[in-house]
Structures are given as C-alpha cells and as structure tokens.
Amino acid sequence: MFQNVSNDSALGYAQLQEQSVNILHIEDSPADQTLARLSLKRGQLACQITVADSLQATQAALQAQNFDLILADYHLPGFTALDVWDIVRQQPEHPPFVLLSGAIGESAAVDIMRLGISDYLLKDQINSLPHVVQRAMEVHEARRARRRAMQELAASEKRLAELTEHLHTSIEQERASISREIHDDIGGSLTAVKFDLAWMQRNSPEGALREHAQNALQMLEHALGASQRIMQNLRPPVLDQGLLAAIQWLAQDFERRTSIPARLHVHCQQADFAPALQVVVYRTAQEALTNISKYAQASQVTLELSDHEGFLTLEVTDNGVGMSVQDRAKPQSFGLKGLNERARTVQGWLDVSSQPGRGSSIILTIPLAVIEI
C-alpha cells in the first residue's frame, strides 16, 4: 500500500522555495519512514511524501502521479531498489533516484550509481538527507536544462540548414533566370546592334563616320564578351552538357587565365548526376580554383572527380603556400564556410587539408544514395 504524508514549511532551499517537492519514499519500515520525514522537516525542505512498501504499491504510485524525486531503501520484502529502478528508468523524463539504505556497502552503492541512480545515503547519516535531496534535484534540473538546450540547438541548426539550402537554391534559380535574360534579351539585342554597326562600317565612306562605327563595333565586342563572362559566372551553359564537361571547362579556363597547369583526372562510372549535386560540385571547384588563383601562388593544380563506393568525391589540390589553422578560422573567411554550408544542402561534407608551405587540398564528398537524379 502507499499513502500521502504532507510536510510543508514556509522556508526552503533557494531553488525549492516556490513549490513543494513531490517525493515517492519506498520503505517498509514505519520508523525509517518517520525518520526520513523528520529529517526533511528539520532541513526546512517543503515536500509532499508518498510512501510505498511493496513493488505493487510502487508501480501503482508511479502510474497515479508524477514525482520530483524517488527515495528508496535497497532491500525490501520481495524486491530491491534495482527492480524499481528498472521500471523508473524506462520513463523518458524520469525523476532523480536516491538510495537511502543501511544494508549496502559503499563499493556496492558506487556500482549501483553507475547504472544511473543519482545518489545514495546511509541511514545512519539521515541528517544529511535534505542536502542530498537538494543536490540530486539540482543535478537533475541541470541535466534537463542541458538536454533542452541541446534540443533547441539541434532545432536551430536544422532550421539554419533548411534556410541555407533554401537560400542556395533560390540564388541558383535567380542566377539561372538572370543568365537566360542576359542571353535572350541583352545578348540578342547586342548581336542585332553588332550587325547594324558592321553594315554601317562597310557602307560608310572613308572618314569620321566609318571611324566612329568601327570604335562602336569594338566597344560592342567588349560588351558581348562581358555579357558572356557574366553568364558563365551566373549559370554556365556548359552544365547542360553534364558535370564532367563543366569541370573540364573550369580546369581549361583556369589554365588559360592563370597559365597554371590544371590537370583533371576523372574516375566516374556514371555520367548523369542530379542537377542540385552538379551545381554544388561545380561551385566548389569554381571557388577552390578562384582561391588558388588569388592566394595560393601555386605552380600546379590537380582536380580529381570520382564516384566510387556510392560517394561522389571532388578533390582540388595545389602546391602553393598553403593555409594555417588561423587563416581558416578568420571571421571574414566566408569562402570555405560557404562551401561547407553548400555541401550540407546535399548531405555532403567538406574536408580541408593544408599546411603553410605545403599546399592545400579541398575534398568534397557527397553520398549518391540520397540524391535522386
């Protein structure tokens, strides 16, 4: 059987003053029940105690209400505190569990606490019970607060990842849209003007008019070249030909612009990859090559693309000056941070290996199983 015994006090411990502590006391000795109640009262700990003296009564009490703390003797008729603990620890948010016993050695109590029990106290030290109860509840509350903080952090990181994915997707869609507009509207208009200027140049008499037409034609050629470069940066048409062709074009363009040899090694069994995956790999290679051209002072660059064992891997390596850990941790180093966030949008990850004077290696790894074509 179990019974409720109230023991309220106007004063209490700092963290337990606002409400009484609901305690389940599992004890078959009326004398020990009374001693525990008196000890808590002397400790000015406001509490409400429910007493249970059998396993059946304990189970009934646990089903009937929620407790802030469980206080249990170790040896009881027909069961032990471990039997109760096996029941309690199945609860998702189980309360702290304190052993109050005179029939267990200290080494055995330590072994029991390794199972997850909060604390233990010998009955001949029962005057310390209020302190033990307070400490157990403080530790329990600290752990709950930590779990809540970790859950909130995980939820925040999930929302941030979803927002990042949305932003990257929106940016790529907007880039593609702007690229199409440049190609269809601006590119078409500039091409038409080019034909008209070429006609004017051919049919104008020698003199200022022909010279002006020739100058305008040269400026127009420059504008056409600039529009093509902008389109390539926004959304390269070469991606429509597949990822392999796009990475090859990047390597060739890098070598042409910088005069730094860029070797591409491809070990792919498949040629078609999901559009989202292609964009992530392409942007990673593009950003890596841009960083190399700006900072690495390299004389050789190697790109390797493979799809072994269900993972698509891009590795960009240079033999330049390398980076220190401090360089990568700078607050304004958004390039690598952006690549890492972009990789997460397709459940991939980015590894950076670099040492000053020994070059750098950027490795992008993406699981193919989770990316649908």
Instruction: Report pLDDT for 10.
Output: 34
pLDDT at 51 over 90: yes
The residues, ordered by sequence, that sit 6+ positions from 54 with a Cβ below 8 Å of its Cβ are 1, 28, 76, 77, 78, 79
The answer to whether 109 and 120 are in contact (CB under 8 A) is yes
Average per-residue pLDDT in the chain? 84
What is the C-alpha separation between 140 and 144, in angstroms, rounded? Answer: 6
pLDDT at 12 over 50: no
What is the C-alpha separation between 159 and 63, in angstroms, rounded? Answer: 37
163-205 pLDDT, tens digit per residue, is 877 777 777 778 777 877 777 778 788 888 888 888 888 888 8
Q: What angle do CA 260, 262, 267 make, to 5 degrees?
A: 175
pLDDT at 16 over 50: no
233-288 pLDDT, tens digit per residue, is 777 777 888 899 999 999 999 999 999 999 999 999 887 888 889 989 998 999 99
pLDDT at 330 over 90: no
Band of residue 159 on the pLDDT scale cut at 50, 70, 90: confident
What is the C-alpha separation between 334 and 338, in angstroms, rounded? Answer: 6
pLDDT at 329 over 70: no
The reported pTM is: 0.54
Residue 212's Cα: distance from chain center in Å?
60
The residues, ordered by sequence, that sit 6+ positions from 49 with a Cβ below 8 Å of its Cβ are 4, 5, 6, 7, 23, 24, 25, 36, 37, 40
**Residues β-bridged to residue 234:** none
Band of residue 106 on the pLDDT scale cut at 50, 70, 90: low
